[in-house]
Copies of this chain bind each other. A is one copy, B any other.
Amino acid sequence: MLTDDAGSAGSTRSRRRPRGSLNQRVILDAAFAVSERGGLDAVTFQALGAELGAHPTAVYRHFRDKDELLLAMIDALHAETLAELPEPTSDWAADLAAIARHMHAVFVRHPAVAAYSYRTARREHEYQMVERVIDCMRRAGLDDRDAARLYRVFSDVSLGYSALDAGLASLDPVTRNADLLSWEIQYRALPPGQYPNIAAIAHALPALDDPDNFTTAVDLMIEAIRGRAAAPRDPNAPRADPAQPQAPW
């Protein structure tokens, strides 16, 4: 005997939601739905209210503020990546490439949120991603110090590059095409006298959004990690003072 008028007339989303049916999961789904249509800027409390069939400020009962909602959306990206990731194999390099490729794919699929993902989510699924990358680094044969450093660098490069590609993908079509075309046309029209190197290789320039750019970056990182795992550490590199024992974590 709810005041629910489902099935009758009314605009697309104005169905009234029964009391108590609002929760973080439902709100997150609504936030992604809105962001997919109009970008992250479209994720306003008013839009969420309309999408959910609730009052705009009802969301405040479930997320302290907008930042809290954003961090939950970022963690959802990590969750989606993990869900699609195949089990680790015996090949650390292949596993590392798979992690990066899947993360990139998920980010580009949800560009509006991904463009904001320089924030540390500090949530469960982010921890699990970290765990898997460090696992690869240790299996590569790196010592703790290199494993820790290169985990961080590999993750940051993958994240930063994915965010970059997502940022491009999340632009409104008009702006994005202007950015993309500037590489197809504008750069090839630059005066060769002033820009001789651009002119010389303009014929080979990959598109700004060529997905091979990212995979090449990942390949380069793995090649370099392989080299470092094989080579002995540079004796000139700064070292932790041996008089200070390692902390007992």
Contacts and interface: CB of A to CB of B under 8 A. Distances in A.
A5 interface: no
How many copies, total? 2
A164 B156 contact: yes
Given A157-B217, A204-B148, A135 B197 contact: yes
Given A156-B161, A198-B134, A224-B221, A213 B120 contact: no
A211 interface: no
Q: Is the interface of A mostly helix, strand, loop or mixed?
A: helix
B164 A160 contact: yes
A215 B210 CA distance: 26
Interface residues of A, number: 71
A205 B152 contact: yes
B221 A168 contact: no
A225 interface: yes
Interface in A199-249: 199-206, 208, 210, 212-213, 216-217, 219-221, 223-225, 227-228, 246-249
A-B complex: 6 closest residue pairs judged by Cβ atoms: A160-B160, A118-B167, A148-B204, A220-B224, A134-B197, A160-B164
